[in-house]
Amino acid sequence: MKKFTCVADIGDLKAALAEAAEIKKDRFAFTELGRNKTLLMIFFNSSLRTRLSTQKAAMNLGMNVMVLDVNQGAWKLETERGVIMDGDKAEHLLEAIPVMGSYCDIIGVRSFAGLKDKKEDYEERVIEQFIKYSGRPVFSMEAATRHPLQSFADLITIEEFKTKPRPKVVMTWAPHPRALPQAVPNSFAEWMNATDYEFVITHPHGYELDPAFTGNARIEYDQRKALEGADFVYAKNWSAYADPNYGKVLSTDRDWTVDAEKMALTNNAYFMHCLPVRRNMIVTDDVIESDRSIVIPEAANREISAQTVIKRLLESL
């Protein structure tokens, strides 16, 4: 594996899940693999879970880790040719990226969607430039349109908790006061579509995601109907994708909040969320604190998904 930005990169899901399970049994079985190897983690956006879990995963593999925090907007890279660089951009990406590559063996990049320019976001310019110019294996620590380490951790978690071969998984939009990228729902849809689960997406009108990600998933605008018989409820907010509302908040309707009454419609479903979660917007206190809430083991599996990915990138060196 030479890069990791989407579900296709991981290849056979059964093999990946088996490898993740083996790592979880003994996280320190591969410390020789990372000896004298360095991971560079570059954050264009701040991070808590991703930073800690990915650093931990790399250290589990015996790697050295360097973290570079690029303050949001503070380090402006020129991307065009021919520009007279007499403004606020002090460096061109064609120099910056290969240099960073020269000091490490593997690069992890976090760079969110700006939600201003849909084309720019959906072209994944930042991470694609790292792939093209760094000379190193690159993995996504959440990019503009996908968050594959999260989705892989979600999948591991579902596999651990499912009690039937083909569970019904429902991803539901839920309200949030701010405009959030589509990376997590896009990515989750992409990964669910790569399984043989029954997968349903529910959201208000106007919140349709990019069909490139949702594929053949059933879209159901009636949240209650979608939740019927669900084995897993995956809640998430996202801003609008469809033009002309790209990046906008169209609704903060708390009628979409996941509560006990809605969970009662399910097949005693497990509740999932990638965190951080706004209580009583996305989900009520009682649901997230219930014994069917698996948000903490889900977050803990971020270490496992990251370690599986980094292990494969190390093996490719």
**Sequence letter at residue 309:** V
Nearest approach, Cβ of 211 to a second copy (angstroms)?
30
**Sequence letter at residue 115:** L
Residues that bind a second copy (CB under 8 A): 27-28, 31, 36, 38, 40, 48-49, 51-53, 55-56, 59-60, 64, 66, 68, 75, 78, 81-87, 90-92, 94-96, 98-100, 102-104, 177, 252, 254, 275-281, 285, 288-289, 295-296, 299-300, 303
Helix axis angle for 13-25 and 295-315, nearest 10°, is 100
Q: Whole-angstrom Cα distance, residue 30 to residue 53?
A: 17
Nearest approach, Cβ of 263 to a second copy (angstroms)?
18
Nearest approach, Cβ of 196 to a second copy (angstroms)?
29
C-beta of 46 vs 245, nearer to a second copy: 46
C-beta of 212 vs 296, nearer to a second copy: 296
Asked whether 158 and 192 are in contact (CB, 8 A), the reply is: no
Nearest approach, Cβ of 113 to a second copy (angstroms)?
18
Q: Whole-angstrom Cα distance, residue 40 to residue 42?
A: 6
C-beta of 37 vs 168, nearer to a second copy: 37
Nearest approach, Cβ of 66 to a second copy (angstroms)?
6
C-beta of 63 vs 143, nearer to a second copy: 63
Q: How many other CB atoms are there within 10 angstroms of residue 312's CB atom? A: 19
Nearest approach, Cβ of 35 to a second copy (angstroms)?
8
Alpha-helical segments (H) within the chain? 7-10, 13-25, 49-60, 93-102, 118-122, 125-133, 148-161, 183-193, 211-214, 223-227, 260-263, 285-288, 295-315
Helix axis angle for 148-161 and 183-193, nearest 10°, is 50
Nearest approach, Cβ of 139 to a second copy (angstroms)?
18
Nearest approach, Cβ of 191 to a second copy (angstroms)?
21
Tokens of 168: 């019904």
Q: Whole-angstrom Cα distance, residue 35 to residue 58?
A: 10
Q: Whole-angstrom Cα distance, residue 184 to residue 152?
A: 11
C-beta of 55 vs 195, nearer to a second copy: 55
Asked whether 217 and 156 are in contact (CB, 8 A), the reply is: no
C-beta of 158 vs 295, nearer to a second copy: 295
C-beta of 5 vs 60, nearer to a second copy: 60
Nearest approach, Cβ of 54 to a second copy (angstroms)?
10
C-beta of 1 vs 156, nearer to a second copy: 156
Give the CA dihedral 15, 58, 136, 212, nearest 10 degrees: 50
Tokens of 86: 């007499």
Q: Whole-angstrom Cα distance, residue 166 to residue 99?
A: 47
C-beta of 84 vs 255, nearer to a second copy: 84
Sign of CA dihedral 262, 266, 269, 275: negative
